[in-house]
Amino acid sequence: MAELAIEDLRFAYKRAGEEMFNGLSWQFEPGSVTALTGPSGRGKSTLLFLIGLLLTPTSGRVLLDGEAVSRAPDAQRAAIRAGRVGFMFQDAQLDPTRRVIDAVMEPGLYAGHAHAGLVDRARSLLDQFGLTDRADHRPGQVSGGQAQRVALCRALVNSPEILLADEPTGNLDRGNAELVLDALSATARSGNTVVIATHDPFVLERVDERVAL
């Protein structure tokens, strides 16, 4: 289980730019889904990027198992991202030239998992999310809702201890939103830490914790 926290966090994209988060501290509980919420432009996505070690805080830190990993060397941050973090990006932009199943498998290849096992894992995730018949299609041939589910499969392929999802229900109708939320909850219930950025009231009603930005 991952012990994930942020401490005294501040971030600005530019040196003289507007600073966000005002020294925010929070401990994310394994087993829970936590929503980062607040109006558009408040920094929900930015905070996910900081937690996912894709950005470095201007001050304060991201702690993983008590260690300030936000300032760890690039190689260590990359290893944490590959091995322990799954990221479901908002614009589920998939490489148009490659098949859906390849997109789902890719984070597993980065993490060094064997190809054969990954094929099985990717197919079973695609089955679970009703995408069995899309596995061999190119992303140009899937709908927005399907692309979002592909992005979820991709984020889950390494069974990450920390799952970060940016507006995971953004393009989805109610039925698909429920499917995705149930998957996020199930991921949390098996001891993982799930953090999502959302301003969707339907989602906010169903999460365990809320951090208002």
Residue from the set 9, 21, 24, 43 that interacts with ligand ADP by CB under 6 A: 43
Rounded to a whole number of angstroms, the minimum distance from the CB of residue 48 to Mg ion is 8
Query: Nearest distance from residue 17's CB to ligand ADP, in Å?
Result: 7
Interface stretch with ligand ADP, choices 42-50, 74-82, 185-193, 203-211 (CB under 6 A):
42-50
From 40, 173, 174, 212, residue interacting with ligand ADP (rule: CB under 6 A): 40
# residues contacting ligand ADP (CB under 6 A): 9
| Segment near ligand ADP (CB under 6 A); pick from 44-52, 127-135, 150-158, 181-189 | 44-52
Gap between the Cα atoms of 193 and 17, Å rounded: 31
| Contact call for residues 150 and 139 (beta carbons, < 8 A) | yes
SS3 call for 83: helix
- Candidates 13, 76, 144, 186; binder of ligand ADP (CB under 6 A) is 13
- Which residue number is nearest to Mg ion in terms of Cβ? 45
- From Mg ion, ligand ADP, none, interface partner of 22 (C-beta below 5 to 8 A by class): none
Q: Segment 26-55, which members bind Mg ion (CB under 5 A)?
A: 44-45
Residues 6+ apart with CB under 8 A from 100: 94, 126, 131, 134, 135, 136, 137, 138, 139, 142, 150
* Residue 168 is a binding residue for ligand ADP (CB under 6 A): no
Instruction: Single out the segment in contact with ligand ADP by CB under 6 A; choices: 43-51, 103-111, 117-125, 187-195.
Output: 43-51
* Dist. CA 30–CA 13, nearest whole Å: 29
**SS3 state of residue 202:** helix
How far is 89 from 53, CA to CA, in rounded Å? Answer: 14
The answer to the question of residue 171 lying near ligand ADP (CB under 6 A) is no
Q: What is the DSSP letter of 117?
A: H
In three-state secondary structure terms, 136 is coil
Q: Which residues pair with 67 in a beta bridge?
A: 64
Q: In the complex, which residues of this chain contact Mg ion (CB under 5 A)?
A: 44-45
